[in-house]
Amino acid sequence: VTPSDIYLSYLSAFANTDRPTSNPLANVFPQYADAFSAYSSNTYYGINSSGTLNLSFSSAESLGSSLTQTNFYPATIPLLAPNATVEVSTQDFSLFPLIEVPSRILATASTAILSSDAQFRPVKLNVRGSKERRRARAENSPQLIAEWEGYVTNIESQTFQARLRGISGRGVEGEIEDAVIPIREVGSRDNPQFAVGALFRLCVSEVTFGDEVQRATKLVFRRLPAYRREDLEAARTRALARAHAIRLDDRRTASGSE
Amino acid sequence: MDSESPRLESSNVGITLVGRFAPDEVLPQKLAESGVLSEAEARSAIFKNLVAGQVVEFSLNWGSILAVEQRLAIQTLTVPYVRIADVALKILREAQKQPIVTMFGINREYTYRYPSVAERDALGVALSPPSAWGPWGEGIAASMPETRSTLAKHGGLMTVTMRQADLDDREAGWIDVSVSAGPGDDERGWGFIIRINDHYQSSDKYDPQQLSMDGHQGSRTTRLLDALVANFDHSILRADGIVNGLLKP
């Protein structure tokens, strides 16, 4: 593996310790130290504060001599037991078609309490040829086709219903419509927010690979600020004060006009 | 202008807020505690910079957050872009104890490529004709075809900025649109970058005499955050419209 024939794909492990003073990957994989210094800079630093292990798949793509894009595919797993093997989902690679991702990636910890010398198997990803890669890289910037703001109106076993308002997109902007959406579209990170009334954004994007156009949807629930208790209390106090200040004054004349 | 549309290579959206912030309150775990991020997001954060009390910078799978005492910047490459507005709002209204915001910008950046340098030159000439620069500019225009594929010797427009300043949706501010030449070669195409800075600012002289119990109702900070909520989607659409108008007259 050399920096020129592969972007980079390694597992990095960070224990619940102080922040590394140097790039820990260079220590874990000394044979690739040059590659790390050339491509990864300090972006691998991860600090765990909750006794969990961070795994970061990173691919830094070099075009010419300059680093043009770095992609991270983080995953978090509980602290490993000795010799445990962890399977990390590779679904996040789906939008990175330049890399032929193995069906699964395995990481094995050698000790129960991870330290900076924890041993992980580096994973090599097969990358297509240079010209093909550059061409695909150039063509695959996702283009947002349409976006809706929606809120959940009803939840059933496999689907949920929502009222959508078009934010952008031809024939979509400003339009109101009802939709039935598969629950599988809700990401696991959004599960706690998934409830009737919850606000979300639904985006449809297109990615072009040569003559082929792939369309993808993305549904993300919004995390909006809640009203603070003191703000509500202050509003209630102001409303009461104004209500008490209202005085009805009957000044109608004998003819009935005011 | 050239008849062929350039290819969009990448784009990103960012919000930069200027004022006074507490960087330590933007640590991923703190943001998870206040509900700005999910626990999983906080655990997956990858630090780029961390100096206690001064700098917190980390990336997430959808973008990055940088907090220093005078600046809070959130950036994303992925839709829905409104996520960064929600995060900014939630940080300032729930995670920060006494933030002060004096101005903010909604920033869009697009990287495009033309297949040839001649097409990029056509855009540059349309935006700023070399002939407008006198005999010096005419000399540059005359040399452009001869050196068309030699980046080091290829002159022409490097950066130009246009400002719209008379905007009625903010107390003060502007929209700056700049077009800059980017790197290029015949294989990858000839790049240029369009940056749009949609800038909002307020003065505390418009603050009401009496603020609410939390000291924010009606304040400059609140007015600016309200402006962020009210204008974010429109700003994104307007930026796309500006770029479309610029590239497809």
CB contact (8 A) between residue B82 and residue A201: yes
pLDDT tens string B173-203: 999 999 999 887 777 788 999 999 999 998 7
Residue type at position A76: T
Token reading at B181: 């030449």
Specify the pLDDT at position B149.
Answer: 56
pLDDT tens string B21-55: 999 999 998 999 988 998 888 888 888 888 888 88
Q: Other C-beta atoms within 10 Å of A184: how many?
A: 9
CB B69 within 8 A of CB A202: no
Distance CA B95, CA B90 (A): 7
Mean pLDDT taken over chain A: 56
Residue A130: strand pairing partners: none
> Which of the two residues, A130 and B185, has the higher pLDDT score?
B185
This complex has an ipTM of: 0.84
CB contact (8 A) between residue B79 and residue A218: yes
Q: Which of B17-31, B102-116, B181-195, B220-234 has the lowest mean pLDDT?
A: B181-195
Mean pLDDT taken over chain B: 87
Compute CA distances B150 → A206, B67, B118, B147, whole Å: 34, 41, 12, 5
Nearest to A138 among B7, B41, B59 (CB): B7
Q: Does A223 touch chain B (CB under 8 A)?
A: yes
The contacts of residue B26 (CB under 8 Å, 6+ apart) are B56, B65, B67, B72, B91, B95, B96
Distance CA A195, CA A205 (A): 25
CB contact (8 A) between residue A66 and residue B50: no
CA of A255, closest CA in chain B: separation in Å?
44
Burial string for A131-161 (b: 16+ CB within 10 Å, else e) reads eebbbebbebbbebbbbbbbebeeeeeeebe
Residues of B in contact with A233 (CB under 8 A): 213
> Which of the two residues, B236 and B212, has the higher pLDDT score?
B236
Distance CA B118, CA A135 (A): 21
Distance CA B106, CA B85 (A): 9
Specify the pLDDT at position A2.
Answer: 27
CB contact (8 A) between residue A92 and residue B61: yes
Q: Which of A49-58, A199-208, B108-117 has the lowest mean pLDDT?
A: A49-58
Binning pLDDT at 50, 70 and 90, where does residue B208 land? low
Specify the pLDDT at position B109.
Answer: 94
pLDDT at A110 over 50: no
CB contact (8 A) between residue A231 and residue B212: yes
Q: Does A136 touch chain B (CB under 8 A)?
A: no
Nearest to B46 among A45, A52, A189 (CB): A45
Residues of A in contact with B61 (CB under 8 A): 72-74, 92
CB A9 within 8 A of CB A99: yes
pTM over 0.95: no
Long-range contacts of A163-166 (CB under 8 A, 24+ apart): A164/A202
> Which of the two residues, A88 and A215, has the higher pLDDT score?
A215
Specify the pLDDT at position A95.
Answer: 32
Compute CA distances A81 → A106, A108, A192, B228, whole Å: 14, 9, 28, 47
pLDDT at A229 over 60: no
CB contact (8 A) between residue A76 and residue B44: yes
> In what helix (H) or strand (E) does residue A187 lie, and over which residues does it extend?
none
Binning pLDDT at 50, 70 and 90, where does residue A154 land? very high
